[in-house]
Homo-oligomer: A and B are copies of this chain.
């Protein structure tokens, strides 16, 4: 018999605000087995429709600071003055239980994970057209000019990180983009360095 065991891994999906990360990640998680989505801590207030414990674990800055100081976060980042982070115990628990973990996080967090977990798979989502992304970011809700220009500046900063990632996927078509990420996941699970093989001759 050939007994083959595959080691679970972390997948990080990053990309500029407005590129469609949540939709893509949602589409991937619907179609893949053995994957858990990590729910981040966030110090900001819930947006309309967001559910505590599902979209984010909403905590105050003191709680966030305490957990960060205690080394309980795999990664963290500050975006527009708010703090976001991934609970380490969740990720380690899932991996230990044989499940892969999907993190939809910003580039600061992505670089954190890359440093701490070199076996993680980093995927960057690019918009097919930055001008279109800009229009989308400008059009979101009823935000004032300050918020919009901060958002655009941040999107440009995030874009500049694409070449620190392992894979670059363009979100020009949601179906293709989801298929690309499913291909990456399937492929990564087959890598020699994630595989133990025991052959009986």
The CB with the most chain B CB atoms within 10 A, among A165, A169, A183, is that of A183
Complex Cα–Cα for A166 and B194 (A): 10
Contacts of A95 in B (CB 8 A): none
Interface size on A, residues (CB 8 A): 36
Knowing A179-B186, A180-B186, A186-B180, say if A128 contacts B1 (CB, 8 Å): yes
A2 in contact with B183 (CB, 8 Å): no
Task: Give 1 or 0 for each of A126-142: 1 = CB within 8 Å of chain B CB.
Answer: 11111100000000000
- Of B170, B186, B192, the contact of A187 (CB 8 Å cutoff): B186
Q: Which of chain A's residues 149-201 have a Cβ closer than 8 Å to chain B?
A: 156, 159, 162-163, 165-170, 179-180, 182-184, 186-188, 190-192, 195, 197, 199-201
